[in-house]
Amino acid sequence: MADWILGIETSCDETSAAVLRQGEQGAEIAGLSILSQDVHRIFGGVVPELASRAHVQAIGAVVDRALADAGIGLGQLDGVAVTVGPGLVGALLVGVMYGKTLAFSLDRPLLGVNHLEGHLFAPTLEDRELAPPFVGLLVSGGHTMLLDVPAWGEYRLLGQTLDDAAGEAFDKVAKLLGLGYPGGAPIERLAREGKPGQFRFPRPMLQELDRDGPNRYAFSFSGLKTAVLRAVRPVPGSEASALGAADHADVAYAFQDAVNEVLVAKTAHAVDALGYGTAMIGGGVACNRALVTRMREHLAGQARVSVASPRLNTDNAAMIAAAGAWRLARGERSGWDLEPRDDLPLPGLVSPIPVSGSDA
């Protein structure tokens, strides 16, 4: 088994590199460097071309920092793992080309890693007990997926968003409330000041849990965003909010409550239907402590909930190195013709399957 693995992540607006060491207790983070791109804040979202340029400028220094933190040189690496998708193609290309060049020059194995699989592996770097089978909820700015994970490398899609991802909804509602980008953390902070019961927004597709159909575990957040828009801007075409600061806090509370209720209810239903004793939450929205607390309270006595710390839930190279190390240990390798894909599916992913179980 390889001892030192370098991970590289450039799927969106974080340039990250990490060095993992395989120890007797599993993979350990020896060095982790993450550089976030603040330039996108003024645009209210990620600008792909700017993201790619920033990755080009930063990646060399970010890799050097991770190696320095680990106390090793390039020659001591045993493998290179790099995010190959999904994500912004231009941003992914920077990391893939850098990783390919580095692996080729060092004559080390290269492994292209799926970004979503990285999120599934992230908690294993802190939670040594996390192992399949479990239900995985991946929630970020680009994805909302509920997965049955019977074994590493085997992923059965239970349901996913039919339109907007949960993280995207947080970002757009934050913009409506004048909180800037990204919106997850500001919404959560503002929601702590809000009062329950002042606003009530729809729980999209929650009623599907009572029906044994293909959308039982599907998500949809587009209509919820529209409901918030109508509450904040009751005058059609208006760009200004008719609500005061206290009302904004109540809106943030009600919005977050609606999103979290749906996420928790569908995850808990899947845990019950599959009879698993573990659920995990991964992705940027897993940084939301209200979501994690609610999930743990709902599943108390039924299943434990595994969640990585915030630095490992946002985009980072440690999770890429963890997933890559597992696949490299299995003898998997990527060719030098490795190319990024913005729509890369999870390896071993099976399409949505019906899951019968309690309708409670």
Pair of tokens at residue 193: 């000041």
Torsion of CA 82, 85, 91, 96, to 10 degrees: 30
Based on the structure, what is the number of domains in the chain? 2
**Given the structure tokens 């760009």, which residue do they identify?**
239
169 and 114 in one domain? no
Q: What is the 3-state secondary structure (H, E, C) of 195-259?
A: CCCCCCCCCCCHHHHHCCCCCCCCECCHHHHHHHHHHHCCCCCCCCCCCCHHHHHHHHHHHHHHH
Q: At what angle do helices 166-176 and 222-232 cross, to 10 degrees?
A: 10
Give the domain range for residue 29.
4-121+313-350
**Given the structure tokens 């997926």, which residue do they identify?**
145
pLDDT of residue 240: 58
Q: How many CA atoms lie within 13 A of 33 on its CB side?
A: 18
Residue 359 lies in a domain: no
276 and 135 in one domain? yes
259 and 242 in one domain? yes
292 and 204 in one domain? yes
Residue 202 lies in a domain: yes
Pair of tokens at residue 167: 């993280």
107 and 22 in one domain? yes
pLDDT of residue 173: 96
Report d(CA 53, CA 301) in Å as an integer: 49
Three-state secondary-structure class, residue 309: coil
pLDDT of residue 358: 43
Report d(CA 84, CA 54) in Å as an integer: 18
110 and 14 in one domain? yes
- Going by pLDDT thresholds of 50, 70 and 90, the confidence category of residue 191 is very high
Q: How far is CA 130 from CA 102, 311, 356, in A?
A: 32, 18, 25
**CATH number for the domain that contains residue 272:** 3.30.420.40
216 and 257 in one domain? yes
Task: For 198-251, write each residue's pLDDT tens digit.
Answer: 999 999 999 999 988 899 999 999 999 999 999 988 666 666 566 776 799 999
Residue 271 lies in a domain: yes
pLDDT of residue 246: 73
346 and 283 in one domain? no
- Going by pLDDT thresholds of 50, 70 and 90, the confidence category of residue 109 is very high
pLDDT of residue 353: 57
Task: For 10-46, write each residue's pLDDT tens digit.
Answer: 999 899 999 999 877 778 999 999 998 777 776 777 8
Instruction: Please say if the pLDDT value at position 357 is more than 70.
Output: no
Report d(CA 12, CA 10) in Å as an integer: 6
pLDDT of residue 40: 72
Please provide the size of the chain in residues: 360
pLDDT of residue 235: 65
174 and 153 in one domain? yes
- Which pTM value belongs to this model? 0.92
Report d(CA 84, CA 112) in Å as an integer: 5
Task: For 237-264, write each residue's pLDDT tens digit.
Answer: 666 566 776 799 999 999 999 999 999 9
Residue 358 lies in a domain: no
Task: Kindly state the percentage of the chain with pLDDT values over 70.
Answer: 94
- Going by pLDDT thresholds of 50, 70 and 90, the confidence category of residue 356 is low
CA pseudo-torsion sign 149, 153, 156, 160: positive
79 and 204 in one domain? no
What number is the average pLDDT over the span 153-174? 95
Instruction: Please say if the pLDDT value at position 145 is more than 50.
Output: yes
Instruction: Please say if the pLDDT value at position 359 is more than 50.
Output: no
185 and 88 in one domain? no
What number is the average pLDDT over the span 157-176? 95
196 and 285 in one domain? yes
Q: How far is CA 274 from CA 158, 216, 300, 321, in A?
A: 11, 14, 17, 29
